[in-house]
Chain A
Amino acid sequence: MVKIDVRDAIGGFFLIILGTSVSLYSMKYGIGQLQNMGAGYFPFILGIMLAILGAFVFLPALFREGTPIEIDYRNMVSVLLSIIVFAVLLDYFGLVLTTIITTLISTIPGNLSWKRKIFLGGSIAFITTIIFVLALGMTIPVWPWSK
């Protein structure tokens, strides 16, 4: 296997990049002096600190062996995609339909039967309509035709 600690190496590297970018970008807000700090002073210092800390994480990781990374791509894509779908569809399709469609996506990793997925989506839609729209009185469109 690879002879470096991949997690800390990637993490540390990313910290260095993030820190330097933040510092560079914050210069455009004006640094000012210690006794009269500009808007960019605090983020500038923080960015430098982050880059230094990133180096402290990155460099030792190159000489140390670590465990391999396991990413659950299916879970990740299903969950994140379902949030985006929910956001896009809510205003058009209303709460009930959007919930059902979203649940169909988020249950992909769960390997449930289609019937179960639709039933789950329907029950969640029912419960949330009762709690959020009826009991708490939130203005969320429930059906495609309700505005």
Chain B
Amino acid sequence: MQVFDSLMVGLASATQLPILMYCLLGVFLGTFVGVLPGIGPLAAISLLLPITYHMEPTAAIVLLAGIYYGSEYGGSTASILLNLPGTAANAITCLDGHPMAKQGRAGVALFMTTIASLVGGVVGVLMLIFFAPSIVQLGLEFGPSEYFALLLLGVVGASMLVSGSPAKGLAMVVIGLILGTVGIDPSSGVPRFDFGFAALLDGISLLVVAMGLFGIAEIIKNISAERDKVSEKITLRSMTPTKNDFQDSSMPMVRGACVGSFLGALPGTGAAIASFAAYAVEKKCAKDPSKFGKGAIQGLTAPEAANNAACQAAFIPTLTLGIPGSATMAVMIGALILHGIQPGPLLMINEPSLFWGLVVSFFIGNIFLVVLNIPLIGIWVSTLNISSKLLYPAILIFIMIGLYSVKNSTFDLYMVTIIGFCGYAMVILRFEAAPLLLGFVLGPMMEENLRRALLLSRGDLSTFVDGPISAGLISLSGAIVIWSIVRFLRNSFTKGAKKFSYMT
């Protein structure tokens, strides 16, 4: 079978010692970043991006990917022990994880979430393996209209499925699209919005936007905050679950993994939305929904399986079509471009050892993570006790050096101050930053495909609904817009009725 051969190629690539080491380093850093509340995988990947310049492409991507899915393992630790989400996707884990900790079952909760994460991760990778070749084949037939429609879906999905008003989410995407136009327009050669700064001719750096919105804004918020300390000792024995725990969790894990894989594969939606959806599904399927929120193990394992599955599945559109499966994937695409690799349907064909090596590294990485998160859980518990006052100033310096090192220029540092200020303003005013990042990365691609499609059709807008694929995608985007508006209006008229609270 062709897939088997490809996996063999991947295995040969992934088991080389340097790659294995970078995989381990990646998942280790990922867990670390995931454990720490506030700094997420997005900031970490952006930070390490310039450092990977000097590495081989396969090693670099394996490392960065490891950080991404590794963080979804570690994120549950702070949620369970401190009721503080390690990453956005772990907000749901607090709901049933922390009550379990208060009941003295923290160890079991940590153990089961690791297993759930493993199940989710493996299912996600299997989805990737099964569907990637067919999607690549489909993608090779994409014309500019299809690409535009798919990008539109991604952008709409990201902006509409956030909590809060759809208008705000969409506005953020549009701002991102506008920021993406800064620089020399590739089609006409006209410099746009550069205001005379030569450094802006290449556009605003992706790192600056990612770090400013997600890193600096978080640091401003948290640099003076003090976190509670974890007082309990987690021993291996306290972690062993009962047979009931396993029985109760098995179907939720499977359901969560399926929900997560599906939502993660859609462009725009990521691990956070997947975990919320899995929780909702689980509550609907439960025999005793009233137990949710008080330490129901199903409410813990389903979202954790979902967020890991979503992480792995987010690679599907990213690697097969070159369209980010989530905001973090947008940065990953930036990383690929940095290393001279063009993301898109040809990636699998032109760089099989990179593609399949990465896929195999996912399996290896997930196994590393189980070892890191069960026997070595003690490391992470003590990490949680490092004071924010010491940690965040250090992270700030790392961010600055990372940014400076890209071009040995201080211009980006001034830019990140401005963006960081805007990022903090957005936090204060309750506007979401992830849609902005997605719009920023997808904007240039959207404009190029829009232009090309209209050029080919001589200004005829119906070209977007002519082909079955683009028509389908456009209608799906439209459906999401309508559904989000309806849901928002319905929520605003039901006074005070909150089904469950999102992380606001």
Instruction: Name A26-84 residues within 8 Å CB distance of B.
Output: 26, 29-30, 33-40, 42-43, 46-47, 49-50, 53-54, 56-57, 69-72, 74-76, 78-80, 82-84
- A97-120: CB near B (< 8 Å → 1, else 0) gives 001001100110111100000001
Which residue of B187, B220, B408, B420 has the most chain A CB atoms within 10 A of its CB atom? B220
Write out the residue numbers on chain B whose beta carbons fall within 8 Å of the beta carbon of A40: 192
Q: Is A1 an interface residue (CB 8 A)?
A: no
Q: Is B467 an interface residue (CB 8 A)?
A: no
Given A7-B430, A87-B410, A18-B175 contact (CB < 8 Å): yes
CA distance A114 to B405 in the complex (A): 29
Instruction: Name B354-411 residues within 8 Å CB distance of A.
Output: 388-390, 392-394, 396-398, 400-401, 404-405, 408, 410
Kindly report which residue of chain B lies nearest to residue A74, judged by CB atoms: B224
B171–A57 CB distance below 8 A? yes
Contact of B165 among A36, A57, A75 (CB under 8 A): A57
Q: Is B216 an interface residue (CB 8 A)?
A: yes
CA distance A35 to B174 in the complex (A): 22
Q: Is B281 an interface residue (CB 8 A)?
A: no
Contact of B459 among A34, A79, A127 (CB under 8 A): A34
B414–A80 CB distance below 8 A? no
Q: Is B233 an interface residue (CB 8 A)?
A: no
A35–B171 CB distance below 8 A? no
Least CB distance from B194 to A in Å reads: 11
Interface size of B by CB at 8 A reads: 60
CA distance A74 to B417 in the complex (A): 15
Least CB distance from B38 to A in Å reads: 13
Q: Is A17 an interface residue (CB 8 A)?
A: no
Which residue of A40, A76, A88 has the most chain B CB atoms within 10 A of its CB atom? A76
Least CB distance from A142 to B in Å reads: 12
Given A86-B413, A110-B389, A50-B220 contact (CB < 8 Å): no
Q: Is B17 an interface residue (CB 8 A)?
A: no
Least CB distance from B217 to A in Å reads: 9
Write out the residue numbers on chain B whose beta carbons fall within 8 Å of the beta carbon of A75: 220-221, 223-224
Write out the residue numbers on chain B whose beta carbons fall within 8 Å of the beta carbon of A8: 165, 168, 429-430
CA distance A112 to B393 in the complex (A): 12
A87–B413 CB distance below 8 A? yes
CA distance A72 to B224 in the complex (A): 10
B167–A76 CB distance below 8 A? no
A76–B178 CB distance below 8 A? no
Given A42-B450, A43-B181, A107-B389, A87-B224 contact (CB < 8 Å): no
B170–A53 CB distance below 8 A? yes
CA distance A46 to B181 in the complex (A): 10
A138–B405 CB distance below 8 A? yes
Write out the residue numbers on chain A whose beta carbons fall within 8 Å of the beta carbon of B393: 103, 106-107, 110, 120-121, 124
Q: Is A24 an interface residue (CB 8 A)?
A: no
Main secondary structure of the interface of B (DSSP, over half): helix
CA distance A41 to B438 in the complex (A): 21
Given A39-B192, A83-B420, A102-B397, A110-B223 contact (CB < 8 Å): yes
B223–A79 CB distance below 8 A? yes
B428–A70 CB distance below 8 A? yes
Given A10-B429, A79-B220, A47-B420 contact (CB < 8 Å): no
B398–A128 CB distance below 8 A? yes
Kindly report which residue of chain A lies nearest to residue B224, judged by CB atoms: A109
CA distance A111 to B223 in the complex (A): 11
Q: Is B431 an interface residue (CB 8 A)?
A: yes
CA distance A11 to B422 in the complex (A): 11
Write out the residue numbers on chain A whose beta carbons fall within 8 Å of the beta carbon of B216: 79-80, 83
Write out the residue numbers on chain A whose beta carbons fall within 8 Å of the beta carbon of B390: 120
B410–A90 CB distance below 8 A? yes
Contact of B51 among A10, A74, A136 (CB under 8 A): A136
Contact of B454 among A19, A37, A69, A110 (CB under 8 A): A37
A132–B401 CB distance below 8 A? yes
Contact of B171 among A22, A43, A53 (CB under 8 A): A53
CA distance A74 to B239 in the complex (A): 42
Write out the residue numbers on chain B whose beta carbons fall within 8 Å of the beta carbon of A46: 174, 177-178, 181
B447–A42 CB distance below 8 A? yes
Q: Is B458 an interface residue (CB 8 A)?
A: yes
Least CB distance from A130 to B in Å reads: 12
Ordered by A's residue number, 25 sampled pairs between the chains whose C-beta atoms are within 8 Å are A7-B428, A22-B178, A29-B192, A39-B187, A39-B190, A42-B177, A53-B171, A70-B428, A72-B221, A76-B220, A79-B220, A80-B220, A83-B413, A83-B417, A84-B417, A87-B414, A95-B401, A103-B393, A106-B392, A110-B388, A110-B393, A120-B393, A137-B54, A139-B408, A140-B408
Top 9 A-B residue pairs of the complex, sorted by shortest distance between their CB atoms:
A35-B459, A110-B389, A109-B224, A87-B413, A39-B190, A87-B410, A34-B459, A56-B167, A53-B171
With A112-B389, A136-B51 already in contact, 7 other A-B pairs whose C-beta atoms are closer than 8 Å: A15-B171, A36-B459, A53-B167, A87-B413, A103-B397, A107-B393, A110-B389
